Structure 1
């Protein structure tokens, strides 16, 4: 076996002229993880797809695009994995140039071959498959049953259904192929129900753990805005989805919560809570207004029965009450400004109906010393 590196990065015009027939990756859709190679012909002006051709032979030229990896396998297992974008040539029986240390090459791929057998093809027949290293987006999830969320605002357990999607990315090609992808597979998509079922249970377990931990900090209505926090907590969940990187070579990049729905019972509970809170607020406002009216009535009755007397302090404040007290204390003479100010206040009381005209005239004479 052997992969000879010709160039790295994008294929320039020079190599496009020299490499008329190449095997490269086809078009990946949003959730395709592995796809077979396709043969393309280049004419210097572009590349034309000739059709699926994942079988390679001695001298086959391979182009690995950016954000893509490739692995070559036969009946005995995986022979080579290419993770760097660029052009390569397959030379059967030669040592691969993509490893600087032959011992590393032998060690890694001996383990791969020991773990995976790609049966069903001739021992001399080699195939190439490409791996999508971009983010695999919009993997939908939904809680199968109601989840418990202890909302700090309502102070009770609420039952909810949660719906959304998450994004994953393959970080370790070797682990992904060895531990997650079934043998003899050249196409693998997370759209497949069977593929999704392998990770949905782990994800929902982690999601439930995260919900419980967030309930002490956030209200239910705030959860959709906490996608980044949820993603980070799921990635670091040591028992479920957080183990994907070590087990399967891919990790969660982002979680988006699209909708949170209360069960019928919890929705009714929230409605009762809101109604009760509104009733309490309305009662408090009525109670305050009633207290104010009662105080005003008491002041008016006190003035009517006793003149201003002690009630003056309730109307004018302590300073005014001290001023009124001078009426009964002839030793303290009010200044002209003080007399005018006091008369204005008495006039306001008369206009408000608290003092009669006779009471106003009497107090006026007392203030002016008439």
Structure 2
């Protein structure tokens, strides 16, 4: 082991005074995941200066790992050590250094001779780089072509375009460096299109799987409010996004859907559906009114033909038709004698086959106020 832990936590107070020259992480931006170490001089709290080769370490080098970062020490062929706990460390397995008590001839001139055979790079050249363990947010995605969604409301396949962003987080820095970051790289960012290409392709495949699984429960217009369910479905797609943590050392954390748009063909289908629905409703209203009028005319004609007279037939038929309409509120109030007389007439109508048993029962309840 070439790392000796000096302290945990942040560097301040006594440690800040003692660690004049340290290598630490630079300032990560939102999408940077790997950054070379920078040599930093604290200067007793009066600011800091950066100097020296990025991340190059020797025996006695002081390394400070901030919160939510990891560090790895590597040479030209392999990763030597990984530091995942924040705090201060001292490196004790590198090249000799005059700052480590070595002689000038051993520490400098010896290295010059060695580097001559390696194009200026020492055969045991060691560097330290830092990994961002915070959430990497706002990685944009957009469907390159239309995605099919079987909308339960419209009952048909509709084509949509979707736009949004997602968040990932590195959970295993060693797997991430070994399996995702190219060899001998000390700077890596998701702003680089080449870095995003593979995960965006796999994300969109999982996104399409999630859409199909949710189509039986939600309309397209409800999808933006189902971002958590979509993220869950995407993460559980073990053929694509769900395999990231094992393969690459990072996982999907959050999905945000900014917009969902219909294709032009799907817009026409939706508009046609809406127009047809309005026409059907208008037809239903007209049909109901026509059927009410027909019922009134049929009953009035039947009463007239069975000897109740023109006026009585018309009046009784209209009143009966209103009684069948639950929306009519101005139903007449009848005396007891009138109720008895009305029931007799209703019975005769039923016996004559003009009224069914159900219609007779319904009118009987109304007449009797039941």
Query: How far 1:327 sits from its partner (Å)?
Result: 6.7
Query: How far 1:289 sits from its partner (Å)?
Result: 3.4
SS in structure 1 at match of 2:128: strand
Unaligned runs of 5+ in 2: 96-118, 324-330, 344-370
**Retained in 2: the 8 A contact 1:36–1:130?**
yes
The alpha-carbon distance between structure 1 residues 66 and 321, as it changes in their structure 2 partners (threshold 3 A), is: same
**Retained in 1: the 8 A contact 2:94–2:126?**
no
The alpha-carbon distance between structure 1 residues 323 and 69, as it changes in their structure 2 partners (threshold 3 A), is: farther
Query: How far 1:229 sits from its partner (Å)?
Result: 1.0
1:324 is matched with which residue?
338
1:254 is matched with which residue?
254
2:206 is matched with which residue?
206
Query: How far 1:47 sits from its partner (Å)?
Result: 4.8
* Correspondence for 1:305 among 297, 304, 310: 310
2:37 is matched with which residue?
37
Distance 1:321 1:252 in 2: 77
Query: How far 1:16 sits from its partner (Å)?
Result: 0.4
1:87 is matched with which residue?
88
The alpha-carbon distance between structure 1 residues 5 and 121, as it changes in their structure 2 partners (threshold 3 A), is: same
Query: How far 1:230 sits from its partner (Å)?
Result: 1.2
What's the RMSD between the two structures over aligned residues?
A: 2.8
Query: How far 1:49 sits from its partner (Å)?
Result: 3.9
**Retained in 2: the 8 A contact 1:16–1:43?**
no
Which is worse superposed, 70-79 or 174-183? 70-79
SS in structure 2 at match of 1:320: coil
Unaligned runs of 5+ in 1: 95-118, 330-370
List aligned pairs for 1:110-129, cutoff 5 A: 121-129=121-129
Query: How far 1:305 sits from its partner (Å)?
Result: 1.5
**Retained in 1: the 8 A contact 2:146–2:159?**
yes
Distance 2:145 2:235 in 1: 23
TM-score, normalising length: structure 2 = 0.75
Distance 1:78 1:326 in 2: 103
List aligned pairs for 1:97-112, cutoff 5 A: none
Residue 3 of structure 1 pairs with residue 3 of structure 2: yes
2:98 is matched with which residue?
none
Query: How far 1:200 sits from its partner (Å)?
Result: 1.4
**Retained in 2: the 8 A contact 1:75–1:121?**
no
Which is worse superposed, 46-55 or 74-83? 46-55
Distance 1:215 1:222 in 2: 10
Query: How far 1:77 sits from its partner (Å)?
Result: 1.0
Distance 1:71 1:120 in 2: 23
Residue 168 of structure 1 pairs with residue 168 of structure 2: yes
1:349 is matched with which residue?
none
The alpha-carbon distance between structure 1 residues 304 and 254, as it changes in their structure 2 partners (threshold 3 A), is: farther
TM-score, normalising length: structure 1 = 0.75
